[in-house]
Amino acid sequence: SAVISQKPSRDICQRGTSLTIQCQVDSQVTMMFWYRQQPGQSLTLIATANQGSEATYESGFVIDKFPISRPNLTFSTLTVSNMSPEDSSIYLCSVGSGGVGNEQFFGPGTRLTVL
Amino acid sequence: AQSVTQPDIHITVSEGASLELRCNYSYGATPYLFWYVQSPGQGLQLLLKYFSGDTLVQGIKGFEAEFKRSQSSFNLRKPSVHWSDAAEYFCAVGVKSGYALNFGKGTSLLVTP
| A81/chain B closest Cα distance in angstroms | 23
State the pLDDT at residue A100.
62
By residue range, what is the domain housing residue B106? Answer: 3-112
B27 touches chain A (CB under 8 A): no
Q: With a cut of 90, say whether residue A24 has pLDDT above it.
A: yes
Structure confidence at residue B51 (pLDDT) = 84
Domain total of chain A: 1
* Residue scoring higher pLDDT (A69 or B29): A69
- First CA to last CA across chain B, in angstroms? 41
What's A102's domain CATH number? 2.60.40.10
**pLDDT above 70 (res A98):** no
Output the pLDDT for position A101.
63
Residue A43 has pLDDT above 70, yes or no: yes
Residues 6 or more apart whose CB falls under 8 angstroms from that of B53 comprise none
Give the mean pLDDT of B4-11. 95
* Nearest chain B alpha carbon to A106: B44
pLDDT given at position B35: 96
Contact A101 B51 (CB under 8 A): yes
State the total domains in chain B. Answer: 1
Q: Answer whether B103 sits within 8 Å of A108, measured CB to CB.
A: no
Option in B36, B94, B105 nearest A102 (CB): B94
Q: CB-based contact (8 Å) between B31 and chain A?
A: no
Range of the domain at A73: 4-114
For residues A12 and B1, which has the higher predicted lDDT (pLDDT)?
A: A12
Q: What is the DSSP string of A37-87?
A: E-TT--EEEEEEEETTS--EEPTT--TTTS-EEEEETTEEEEEE-S--GGG
**Which of B99, B102, B108 should be substituted to probe chain A, the one whose Cβ sees the most A Cβ atoms within 10 Å?**
B99
For residue A12, the model assigns a pLDDT of 97
Question: Residue B60: pLDDT above 90?
Answer: yes
CA distance A64 to A67: 6
Distance between B87 CA and the closest CA of chain A, angstroms: 12
Least confident interval from A2-6, B28-32, B56-60, B92-96: B28-32
pLDDT reported for residue B95? 74
Q: What is the DSSP letter of A16?
A: T
Nearest Cβ partner for B44 among A45, A100, A106: A106
Q: In chain B, what percentage of residues exceed pLDDT 90? A: 73
* Mean pLDDT calculated for residue range B6-32: 92
What average pLDDT does the segment A7-11 reach?
Answer: 96
CATH number at B94 reads 2.60.40.10
